[in-house]
Amino acid sequence: MDHGSQGCDLMSYFIGMDMGGTWIRAAIGTEEGTILKKVTAPVDPLADNTSILKQLEKLIIEVSGESLQEIKGIGIAAAGKLDIKKSTIVFSPHTSIRSLSLEPLQERLKKPVTLLNDGVAAALAEWRLGAGMGHDNIIYVGIGTGIGGGIVVDGHLLMGKEGNAHEIGHMIIDAGGAIECDCGGRGHWEAYTSGSGLPRLSRLLAQSFVGRTQFLDRSLRGRVEAREVFDYARNGDKFALCVVREATRLNAIAMANLVNLYDPSLISVGGGVAIKNVEFVVSPLQSYVERFSFNSPPKIVPSPLGEDAPLLGAILSTFVIQF
Ligand SMILES: [Zn+2]
């Protein structure tokens, strides 16, 4: 019996990176979407392009270890405005990144680098490996530091002319524009209910709330953290619960707009804020979206891939997407 040739086959490995507003994650994985090792580093909000490229290279080397030679490709999922044809992150509202070309990374490591939006990457992973398996029409919504998304329609992952299809976080949900977004626009979805938006929504609602609660006092005194909204809500603070209800209503309005635009059979909700607070952020959405949407409502579920969705999508992008 000859088992020789099978045992000598080299495995193919792929690197996926997720460049969010708070963390950079890197993972090494296989074609089947199995993550073998993962490393995480904080985003330096003041870093220049040279030091960001150095940090990316360091993370790639760290996560690949002795397998660097076997790496077939590097997929980078990034938040912000991209030009995927030029492999460039043009602008990222939650970091210092401005016109960051990833070509030097490709040249230094001598590996193909694929760039795509982090929400699009997460949608790809959700469709191929997560809740969207077997569906032809899905929407991924990531509620984290900002809000991003990706959309599959009739079995096609939508990209846009420069890779910026579905910057859903900058959808206008408040025509009055009471809150300014980090991008400079007013009334944008992520300025109200993302991790960076919830403190602003709390401050806005605090002005008109009748009654007194601990979280109301905190919100009136200064900037609160998004995490506190949920901590106080869990303890029954009436003002925190009011903020959570309003955030749900706004999330549902935005999602109903997406349902009317794309007619999905499934919406998967991921991102740190949603995944850590499923009972407040995801569970109440179904009935709200049903009330607001014209099209028949999709099933709304928390992402089973959790915070790994953009990472897995970045890995898949190295061999699934043809640009
Ligand atoms: Zn915006």
Q: The CATH number of the domain where 269 resides is what? A: 3.30.420.40
Q: Are 174 and 296 contained in the same domain?
A: yes
Q: Are 204 and 57 contained in the same domain?
A: no
Does residue 7 have a pLDDT over 80?
no
Assess contact for 141 and 149: CB atoms under 8 A.
Answer: yes
Q: What is the mean pLDDT of residues 194-223?
A: 95
Q: How many angstroms does the Cα of residue 187 sit away from the middle of ligand 1?
A: 8
Q: Are 102 and 234 contained in the same domain?
A: no
Q: How many angstroms does the Cα of residue 318 sit away from the middle of ligand 1?
A: 29
Is 146 inside a domain boundary?
yes
Q: How many domains would you assign to the chain? A: 2
Q: How many angstroms does the Cα of residue 119 sit away from the middle of ligand 1?
A: 15
pLDDT at 3: 40
pLDDT at 2: 40
**Domain interval for residue 156:** 133-304
Q: How many angstroms does the Cα of residue 300 sit away from the middle of ligand 1?
A: 24
Neighbours of 283 (CB within 10 A): 15
Q: How many angstroms does the Cα of residue 191 sit away from the middle of ligand 1?
A: 7
SS3 216: helix
Helix (H) or strand (E) holding 125: helix 118-129
Report the share of the chain in percent with pLDDT over 70: 96
Is 309 inside a domain boundary?
no
pLDDT at 320: 82
Q: How many angstroms does the Cα of residue 19 sit away from the middle of ligand 1?
A: 18
Confidence at 9, pLDDT banded by 50, 70, 90: low
pLDDT at 322: 57
Q: Of the given ranges (59-68, 129-138, 266-275), which has the lowest mean pLDDT?
A: 59-68
pLDDT at 1: 39
Encoding tokens for residue 154?
Answer: 């009739």
Neighbours of 69 (CB within 10 A): 8
Q: How many angstroms does the Cα of residue 171 sit away from the middle of ligand 1?
A: 7
Q: How many angstroms does the Cα of residue 240 sit away from the middle of ligand 1?
A: 24
Is 6 inside a domain boundary?
no
Is 7 inside a domain boundary?
no
Q: What is the mean pLDDT of residues 116-136?
A: 96
Q: How many angstroms does the Cα of residue 33 sit away from the middle of ligand 1?
A: 32
Q: Are 97 and 162 contained in the same domain?
A: no
pLDDT at 95: 83
Q: How many angstroms does the Cα of residue 147 sit away from the middle of ligand 1?
A: 9
d(CA 147, CA 166): 10
Does residue 161 have a pLDDT over 80?
yes
Confidence at 138, pLDDT banded by 50, 70, 90: very high
DSSP H stretches of helix in 65-110:
103-109
Q: Of the given ranges (1-5, 196-200, 270-274), which has the lowest mean pLDDT?
A: 1-5
Q: How many angstroms does the Cα of residue 107 sit away from the middle of ligand 1?
A: 33
Does residue 67 have a pLDDT over 70?
yes
